[in-house]
């Protein structure tokens, strides 16, 4: 993976918001790849020229600032979407190169939270915080939620279940997708993102013990290692189609909270709860999610269809889950 886009070029004088918006756009190159870390981009400006850019490509790789500063001249201004990390070496690294740092938002990680900014200020560097903060927060809404609550960010998705298009992009963005066993048996295909270079999400199947004909689509050994079946009280589906390598977990109830705790323990930030096709199978899960305030977003894909015979009249599907 190429981690740096370095193009030295003259630009018209813009304000701090312009450069921060550029950073947000470029940080999205790592969508779906950085968990449990946030997406971060850094841009270095000197004398009206962008002299360095870099983003954090994935967990375990250097921070965005490190990539941006590799070819940058000294005494410039750094624009970074998230407060520079203070529990590793990044702030001292910045100190040697820039006179000013513009930050989109403070890092909610309690072991960072403003300490990186303080180190920069103590070194005599001018620091500006909160430029395009809403954009920066939206960029990492799942990371922020996980840091503040200790739970993954949950999105309910209804209707967007085609192989490509918007559903494919959703699968690229989320660390895990939760399916009902009934919906999986009916579709008989795994949700897979078609986006180039996408990391495929962990697949969690909530098995209904009334689903006696549960079958899963074919998997190779690598794919099977990214599947977890969650059931109730040590009762697991008996099917020759289920590879032994698939992880099996049981709780007192195949609950949303138990599933989210499992995801958090695995370092996942975001979970997509796929409601397409089998709303009834998730009735208890949905009730638990709403009553426990466990879900943060709802996405409904509304598709029009043409009605006959009275002309080409555009109507919408009934979205009533009953």
In this structure, the dihedral spanned by the alpha carbons of residues 111, 155, 172 and 37, taken in order and rounded to 10 degrees, is 0
Describe the crossing of helices 256-265 and 283-291 by its angle, rounded to 10 degrees.
70
Q: Do 128 and 80 contact (CB within 8 A), yes or no?
A: no
SS3 category, 189: coil
Residue 128, preceding peptide bond in cis (omega within 30° of 0): no
Catalytic site residue from 49, 53, 65, 291: 65
Judge whether 65 counts as a catalytic residue: yes
β-partners of residue 274 are 157
Q: Do 206 and 254 contact (CB within 8 A), yes or no?
A: yes
Distance (Å, rounded) from C-alpha 306 to C-alpha 147? 46
Query: Counting Cβ atoms within 10 Å, is residue 166 exposed (0-12), middle (13-18) or buried (19+)?
Result: middle
Q: Do 294 and 230 contact (CB within 8 A), yes or no?
A: no
Sheet holding 76-80, edge to edge: 9-10, 49-55, 41-46, 76-80, 98-103, 126-129
Nearest to 207 by CA among 244, 234, 226: 234
Distance (Å, rounded) from C-alpha 195 to C-alpha 91? 34
Q: Which residue has the tokens 């970074």?
A: 80
- The residue length of the chain stands at 322
Nearest to 65 by CA among 45, 51, 44, 50: 44
Distance (Å, rounded) from C-alpha 286 to C-alpha 283? 5
Q: Mind telling me the catalytic residues?
A: 65
């Amino acid at each position: 993976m190429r981690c740096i886009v370095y193009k030295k070029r003259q630009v018209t004088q813009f304000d701090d918001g312009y450069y921060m918006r550029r950073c947000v756009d470029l940080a999205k190159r790592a969508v779906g790849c950085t968990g449990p870390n946030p997406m971060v981009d850094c841009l270095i400006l000197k004398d009206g020229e962008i002299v360095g850019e870099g983003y954090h490509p994935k967990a375990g790789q250097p921070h965005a600032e490190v990539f941006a500063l590799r070819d940058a001249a000294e005494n410039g201004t750094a624009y970074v979407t998230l407060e520079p990390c203070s529990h590793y070496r990044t702030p001292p690294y910045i100190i040697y190169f820039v006179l000013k740092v513009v930050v989109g938002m403070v890092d909610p990680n309690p072991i960072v939270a403003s300490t990186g900014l303080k180190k920069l200020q103590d070194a005599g560097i001018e620091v500006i915080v909160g430029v395009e903060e809403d954009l920066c927060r939206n960029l990492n809404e799942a990371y922020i939620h996980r840091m503040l609550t200790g739970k993954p960010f949950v999105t309910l998705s209804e209707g967007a279940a085609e192989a490509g298009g918007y559903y494919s992009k959703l699968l690229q963005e989320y660390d895990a997708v939760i399916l009902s066993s009934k919906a999986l048996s009916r579709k008989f295909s795994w949700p897979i993102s078609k986006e180039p270079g996408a990391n495929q999400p962990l697949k969690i199947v909530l098995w209904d013990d009334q689903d006696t004909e549960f079958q899963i689509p074919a998997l190779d050994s690598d794919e099977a290692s990214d599947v977890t079946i969650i059931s109730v009280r040590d009762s697991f589906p008996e099917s020759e189609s289920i590879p032994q390598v698939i992880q099996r977990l049981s709780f007192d109830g195949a609950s949303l909270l138990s599933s989210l705790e499992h995801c958090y323990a695995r370092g996942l930030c975001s979970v997509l709860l796929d409601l397409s096709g089998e709303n009834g199978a998730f009735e208890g899960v949905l009730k638990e999610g709403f009553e426990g305030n466990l879900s943060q977003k709802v996405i409904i894909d509304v598709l029009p269809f043409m009605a006959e015979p009275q002309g080409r009249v555009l109507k919408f599907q009934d979205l009533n889950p009953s």
